[in-house]
């Protein structure tokens, strides 16, 4: 459920008409609903109510906007970060340091050190040399780094190849058959408090079976590690729960997901950690855009909107579907293609789709754009960086400015020898 609804024939975000935002902030612009973020945070937490000890860390790669992070921090969410930049954001937004988990396959020694200095809650180690480096840096600082070892359970998550992470051939984690020996070597390092294991098998998962298979494997590993004499107190089960992008998509609910997790982990006796991203933010945001032209096409007309692949990259990257709706629907529909102004054929949001009828000057939204939307935006074609707005009730705030092409150009220069 979200808070983007039609009232008296026009689309609102909570109690703010999208037309007002378009007029005052301009388009394209991302619009987030605080009430939806809060509701999703609560529904996900409620789904895990049968698990005795839980830490939820929002995967901030999905939406690292400071305003969004503050909403989730106020909900008691920690943060799963994958770079020094994300860590700085989480801290700036008020996420307590001990609620921050540091994931990612390419953490640099400088980032590891920054994490230790900030006192973050946990490092999710991706392989042995990283663990050894962390141990050394921590020991030199007189610290013990809280850490878990990320294991690759080799399961097929049945999702898009580019967002699958738990197959043996993917770059993430260590092969599960190497886990015991590696765990023993790392646990022996005085600079490490190696306290458990982590997994994350992929994103936009519409089927609980692969998750259950992965959790079950990790449960066996926990038993083996305990039998080896290790103290296992934490298991990080990652994120990945999918969201409906189409009206008829059926996804497992947070309650079904939580019931499965509670059942599989019943006798683990650990603090369980989760790193949801998309399920919290995806349907809490839309990309608001204006139709510039309607151009004849071979089969159907091209509706050319002012948002493009640089603003919302998911369609070109993953062939992703984002529902389109008019902000002031007439009740009529049209068969159309929807494309942006960028000079690439891939800059196409929809082909041969039946959509609300629109004309030049009309406003529309791409739904389910709150996760992996603004954060993946670029300035390709020297377009401005897309702004973001957060709505709460009848208020809204611009939580990220539109960064003009000229501002970006101001950071460039022609070298002296060419002048
Ligand atoms: N934890 C780890 C270690 C991850 O790598 C990810 C996502 C998450 C948690 C959060 O997964 P979620 O709950 O959001 O599914 N840009 C792509 C998605 C990339 C996901 C990468 N990792 C997209 O737009 O679909």
What's the pLDDT at 166? 79
Mean pLDDT, range 310-338, rounded to an integer? 98
What's the pLDDT at 1? 66
Q: Check pocket membership of 282 for ligand 1, CB cut-off 6 A.
A: no
pLDDT confidence tier of residue 165, bands split at 50, 70 and 90: confident
Pick the atom of ligand 1 nearest to 62's CA.
Answer: 14
Mean pLDDT, range 360-382, rounded to an integer? 98
Mean pLDDT, range 209-230, rounded to an integer? 97
Instruction: Tell me the CA–centroid distance for residue 114 and ligand 1, in Å.
Output: 23
* Whole-angstrom distance, CA of residue 243 vs CA of residue 148: 28
314 annotated as ligand-binding: yes
Name the residue with tokens 């408090």.
193
Mean pLDDT, range 322-335, rounded to an integer? 98
Ordered domains of the chain (ranges, CATH):
4-32+282-409 (2.40.37.10), 104-274 (3.20.20.10)
pLDDT confidence tier of residue 121, bands split at 50, 70 and 90: very high
Hey, which of 44, 47, 58, 61 would you mutate to test ligand 1's pocket, going by the most ligand atoms within 8 Å of its Cβ? 61
240 annotated as ligand-binding: yes
Instruction: Tell me the CA–centroid distance for residue 152 and ligand 1, in Å.
Output: 15
Phi and psi torsions of 56, nearest 5°: -105, 125
24 annotated as ligand-binding: no
SS3 349: strand
In this predicted structure, the answer to whether residue 368 has a pLDDT above a threshold of 90 is yes
Q: Assess: ipTM above 0.90.
A: yes
Mean pLDDT, range 109-113, rounded to an integer? 98
Exposure b/e, 339-364, CB count within 10 A at least 16 = b = bbbbeeeebbbbeebebbbbeeebbb
What's the pLDDT at 380? 98
Strand blocks (E) in 296-340: 302-305, 324-326, 333-339
Contacts of 45 (CB under 8 A, 6+ apart): 54, 56, 75, 76
pLDDT confidence tier of residue 170, bands split at 50, 70 and 90: confident
What's the pLDDT at 112? 98
- DSSP for 161-185, please give it: GGGB--STTSSSSEEGGGHHHHHHH
* Whole-angstrom distance, CA of residue 188 vs CA of residue 179: 14
What pLDDT, in 10s, does the model give residues 283-323? 999 999 999 999 999 999 999 999 999 999 999 999 999 99
* Whole-angstrom distance, CA of residue 135 vs CA of residue 111: 14
Q: Check pocket membership of 164 for ligand 1, CB cut-off 6 A.
A: no
Q: Check pocket membership of 238 for ligand 1, CB cut-off 6 A.
A: yes
What pLDDT, in 10s, does the model give residues 257-284? 999 999 999 999 999 999 999 999 999 9
Going by C-alpha positions, the residue among 370, 315, 268 that lies closest to residue 54 is 268
CA distances, 67 to each of 29, 53, 64, 87, 414 (Å): 15, 28, 9, 15, 36
In this predicted structure, the answer to whether residue 374 has a pLDDT above a threshold of 90 is yes
What's the pLDDT at 135? 98
Pick the atom of ligand 1 nearest to 104's CA.
Answer: 3
What's the pLDDT at 157? 81
The torsion defined by the Cα of 339, 342, 343 and 344, in degrees rounded to 10, comes to -60
Q: Check pocket membership of 163 for ligand 1, CB cut-off 6 A.
A: yes
Name the residue with tokens 């197959």.
167
Nearest CA to ligand 1 atom 8: 239
14 annotated as ligand-binding: no
Going by C-alpha positions, the residue among 379, 393, 327 that lies closest to residue 23 is 327
In this predicted structure, the answer to whether residue 382 has a pLDDT above a threshold of 70 is yes
Q: Check pocket membership of 39 for ligand 1, CB cut-off 6 A.
A: no
Contacts of 199 (CB under 8 A, 6+ apart): 150, 151, 152, 153, 166, 173, 214, 215, 218, 236, 237, 238
Q: Check pocket membership of 200 for ligand 1, CB cut-off 6 A.
A: yes
In this predicted structure, the answer to whether residue 386 has a pLDDT above a threshold of 70 is yes
What's the pLDDT at 355? 98
In this predicted structure, the answer to whether residue 51 has a pLDDT above a threshold of 90 is yes
Q: Check pocket membership of 314 for ligand 1, CB cut-off 6 A.
A: yes
Going by C-alpha positions, the residue among 378, 257, 239, 386 that lies closest to residue 316 is 378
What's the pLDDT at 2? 84
275 annotated as ligand-binding: yes
Instruction: Tell me the CA–centroid distance for residue 362 and ligand 1, in Å.
Output: 33
pLDDT confidence tier of residue 107, bands split at 50, 70 and 90: very high
Hey, which of 80, 101, 277 would you mutate to test ligand 1's pocket, going by the most ligand atoms within 8 Å of its Cβ? 277
Nearest CA to ligand 1 atom 5: 200
* Whole-angstrom distance, CA of residue 254 vs CA of residue 49: 11
What's the pLDDT at 164? 77
In this predicted structure, the answer to whether residue 129 has a pLDDT above a threshold of 90 is yes
What's the pLDDT at 5? 97
- Pick the range with the lowest mean pLDDT from 29-43, 52-66, 157-171, 310-324: 157-171
* Whole-angstrom distance, CA of residue 108 vs CA of residue 318: 28
What's the pLDDT at 158? 83
SS3 272: strand
In this predicted structure, the answer to whether residue 407 has a pLDDT above a threshold of 70 is yes
Its pTM stands at 0.97
- DSSP for 353-390, please give it: EEEE---TT-EEEESS-SSSSGGG---GGGPPBPPEEE
What's the pLDDT at 68? 98
């Amino acid at each position: 459920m979200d808070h983007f609804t039609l009232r008296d024939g026009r689309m609102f975000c909570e109690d703010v008409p999208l037309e007002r935002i378009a007029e005052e902030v301009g388009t394209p612009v991302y619009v987030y609903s605080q009430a939806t973020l809060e509701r999703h945070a609560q529904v996900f937490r409620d789904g895990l109510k049968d698990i005795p000890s839980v830490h939820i860390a929002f995967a901030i790669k999905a939406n690292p906007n400071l305003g969004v992070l503050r909403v989730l921090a106020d909900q008691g969410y920690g943060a799963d970060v994958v770079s020094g930049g994300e860590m700085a954001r989480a801290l700036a937004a008020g996420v307590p340091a001990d609620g921050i988990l540091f994931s990612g396959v390419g953490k640099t020694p400088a980032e590891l050190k920054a994490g230790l200095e900030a006192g973050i809650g946990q490092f999710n180690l991706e392989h042995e040399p990283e663990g050894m480096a962390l141990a050394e840096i921590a020991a030199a600082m007189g610290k013990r780094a809280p850490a878990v070892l990320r294991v690759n359970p080799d399961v097929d998550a049945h999702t898009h190849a580019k967002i699958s992470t738990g197959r043996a051939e993917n770059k993430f984690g260590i092969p599960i058959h190497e886990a015991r020996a590696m765990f023993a070597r790392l646990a022996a390092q005085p600079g490490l408090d190696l306290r458990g294991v982590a997994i994350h098998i992929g994103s936009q998962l519409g089927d609980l079976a692969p998750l259950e298979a992965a959790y079950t494997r990790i449960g066996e590993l926990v038993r083996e590690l305990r039998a080896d004499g290790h103290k296992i107190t934490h298991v990080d089960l990652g994120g990945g729960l999918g969201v409906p992008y189409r009206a008829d998509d059926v996804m497992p609910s947070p309650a079904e997901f939580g019931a499965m997790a509670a059942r599989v982990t019943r006798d683990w006796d650990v603090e369980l950690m989760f790193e949801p991203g998309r399920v919290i933010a995806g349907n809490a945001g839309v990309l608001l855009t204006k139709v510039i032209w309607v151009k004849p096409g071979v089969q159907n007309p091209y509706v050319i909107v002012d948002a493009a692949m640089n603003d919302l990259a998911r369609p070109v990257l993953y062939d992703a579907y984002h529902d389109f709706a008019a902000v002031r629907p007439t009740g009529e529909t049209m068969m159309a293609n929807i494309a942006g102004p960028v000079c690439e054929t891939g800059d196409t949001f929809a082909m041969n789709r039946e959509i609300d009828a629109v004309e030049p000057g009309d406003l529309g939204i791409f739904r389910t754009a709150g996760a992996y939307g603004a954060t993946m935006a670029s300035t390709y074609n020297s377009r401005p960086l897309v702004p973001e707005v957060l709505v709460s009730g009848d208020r809204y705030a611009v939580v990220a400015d539109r960064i003009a092409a000229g501002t970006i150009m101001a950071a460039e220069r022609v070298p002296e020898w060419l002048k």
